[in-house]
Amino acid sequence: MSPVETWIAAFLTLCVFSFLYRDNPFYRFAEHLFVGSAAGYLLAVQYQNVILPNVVLPITTGKPTPQTIVLTLIPLMLGLLMVARVSPRFTGPARWAIAFYVGIYSGIAVPGYMQAQIYAQLSDAVKPFAPGWGAVNSALVLIGLLTVLAYFFFSAPHQGLHGVSARVGIWFLMVAFGASFGYTVMARVSLLISRVQFLLRDWLHLIPMS
């Protein structure tokens, strides 16, 4: 980054940190700038990576065949129907685009989730145990999986053996939530360290460049 860019980045960093004192115009400026630029960036990336090569170029360059034109116009029409949702008059036609999109991702979700989430997790859980201490850990993972699943099974009351399993399942869940919480805190702290490092090293030159 050039010195001017570093100063702008440092100013924006301080604008966001100013929220630690309280809500103020500097923070609101940074917040609104972030919303606008993030939306614009996403739009520009989608234009360059999706719309330009798959919609604009196929029908504007070379000699497009009728098949190319049809295969380009169908998603283009669906896309325009989606944008037409802006006007309340076109809410009805826009439903076709939404229905198509939702249909595609529902169709992907059925085999995709079955394969990646359910079968893959189950097959990993019932793999033969590793020898030594690995077997203890594998057994604990299997017990944890079964007890947490027992906790999530609400078709029968949590009583007797099912109740005991559900209670052990809650313990496993609490450990997992605690681990996730600790992990998230540390990830945020490392981001904080990197921002402070940017301010002290790249902007103020108070600590040497590594």
Residues 92-111 that bind another protein (CB under 8 A): 95-111
Query: Within its chain, how far is the Cα of 169 from the centroid?
Result: 27
Query: Within its chain, how far is the Cα of 36 from the centroid?
Result: 19
Rule CB under 8 A: which of 19-38 touch another protein?
Answer: 19-20, 28-38
- Alpha-carbon dihedral of residues 153, 154, 160, 162, nearest 10 degrees? 0
Q: How far is the CB of 77 from another protein (least distance, A)?
A: 10
Q: Which two tokens stand for residue 99?
A: 């229905």
Q: How far is the CB of 75 from another protein (least distance, A)?
A: 4
Q: How far apart are CA 210 and CA 203, in angstroms?
A: 14
The span of 60-68, 141-149, 158-166 binding another protein (CB under 8 A) equals 141-149
Q: Match 């940190």 to its residue by tokens.
A: 17
Q: How many residues bind another protein (CB under 8 A)?
A: 110
Q: Which two tokens stand for residue 102?
A: 């939702």
The span of 6-14, 62-70, 154-162 binding another protein (CB under 8 A) equals 6-14
Nearer to another protein, 38 or 204 (CB): 38
∠ at Cα 60 (59, 62), nearest 5°?
90
Rule CB under 8 A: which of 153-192 touch another protein?
Answer: 169-186, 188-189, 191-192
Backbone torsions φ then ψ of 2, nearest 5 degrees: -75, 165
Rule CB under 8 A: which of 69-88 touch another protein?
Answer: 71, 74-76, 78-80, 82-83, 85-86
∠ at Cα 14 (12, 17), nearest 5°?
115
> Pattern 40-69, binding to another protein, x per CB under 8 A?
xxxxxxxxxxxx--xx--------------
Q: How far is the CB of 178 from another protein (least distance, A)?
A: 3
The secondary structure of 55-73 as a DSSP string is: IIHHHHSS---HHHHHHHH
Nearer to another protein, 36 or 65 (CB): 36
